[in-house]
C-alpha cells in the first residue's frame, strides 16, 4: 500500500502536457514556507493499492504523463518502482519532485558520503523517471517567473541523460518560457 496525500487527475501545471499527479504523503525536508505542510507526516494521508492507482490512469486517455509530487515521493521509492515500471511500459513519461539535491543521489550511487536518508530504492527509482525537479523550497529564492519550480535553486533535470553522462544535464522544456 502507498500512502497518498492526494490525486489530481488532469493537471496542466505540474509538468508538460496533461498530467496525472500523485501527491505522496511524507516529507522530512521541513522547508520553511512549504505550501503543503499537511503532507509531512509519514502516517497521515490515505492508503491506496497500486492496482487502484493504475485504474485511475488507465481510465483517462487524455493524460500525457504522470507527476510524482508530495510530500517527497522518494521516501516511498520502493513502492513507486513497480508503478513507474508499469507506466513506462504504457508509454507515459514520468516527472518527480524531490527536496533532495540530485547531486546527493549521484554521490550515493558512487558510494560517496551523502545524505543518510538516501536508499538504494531511490536510486533504482531514478531509472524510470524522465524529469526530476530537485532541491528544497528556499523561501529567500522564491520565484513566480519560472514554470514548475517554486524557488530559483530548483532545477529540471533530464534524469536519463544525467545518469548516462554522470553529470547534471538540465531538461529542456518544449516551449520558450525559460
> Residue 137 interacts with ligand SF4 (CB under 6 A)?
yes
In the bound state, the residue with its beta carbon closest to ligand SF4 is: 99
Q: Which is nearer to ligand SF4, 29 or 161 (CB)?
A: 29
Rounded distance, CA 70 to CA 22, Å?
8
Coil, helix or strand for 70? coil
Determine, following the binding rule CB under 6 A, whether residue 73 of this chain makes contact with ligand SF4.
no
Q: Are strands 131-134 and 19-24 parallel, antiparallel or unpaired?
A: unpaired
All three cell numbers of 41: 507526516
Contact (Cβ atoms closer than 8 angstroms) between residue 25 and residue 5: yes
Considering beta carbons, is residue 88 or 146 the nearer one to ligand SF4?
A: 146
Q: Which of 103, 112, 110, 166 is nearest to 132 (CA)?
A: 103
Of 66, 55, 141, nearest to 97 by C-alpha is 66
Residues 85-114 that bind ligand SF4 (CB under 6 A): 99
Please pick, from the candidates 25, 39, 57, 67, the single residue that binds ligand SF4 as defined by CB under 6 A. 39
Please select the residue that binds ligand SF4; options are 30, 46, 47, 143, rule is CB under 6 A.
30
Judged by the rule CB under 6 A, the positions of this chain that interact with ligand SF4 are 27, 29-31, 34, 36, 39, 70-72, 99, 136-137
Amino acid at each position: 500500500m502507498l500512502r497518498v496525500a492526494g490525486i489530481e487527475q488532469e493537471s496542466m501545471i505540474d509538468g508538460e502536457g496533461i498530467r496525472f499527479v500523485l501527491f505522496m504523503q511524507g516529507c522530512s525536508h521541513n522547508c520553511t514556507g512549504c505550501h503543503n505542510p499537511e503532507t509531512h507526516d509519514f502516517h497521515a494521508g490515505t492508503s491506496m493499492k497500486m492496482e487502484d492507482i493504475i485504474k485511475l490512469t488507465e481510465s483517462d486517455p487524455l493524460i500525457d504523463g504522470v507527476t510524482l509530487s508530495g510530500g517527497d515521493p522518494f521516501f516511498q521509492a520502493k513502492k513507486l518502482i513497480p508503478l513507474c515500471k508499469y507506466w513506462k511500459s504504457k508509454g507515459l513519461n514520468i516527472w518527480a519532485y524531490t527536496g533532495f539535491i540530485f547531486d546527493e543521489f549521484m554521490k550515493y550511487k558512487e558510494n560517496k558520503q551523502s545524505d543518510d536518508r538516501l536508499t538504494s530504492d531511490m536510486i533504482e527509482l531514478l531509472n524510470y523517471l524522465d524529469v526530476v525537479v530537485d532541491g528544497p523550497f528556499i523561501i529567500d529564492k522564491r520565484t513566480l517567473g519560472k514554470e514548475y519550480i517554486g524557488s530559483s535553486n530548483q532545477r529540471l533535470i533530464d534524469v536519463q541523460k544525467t545518469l548516462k553522462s554522470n553529470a547534471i544535464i538540465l531538461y529542456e522544456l518544449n516551449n520558450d518560457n525559460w
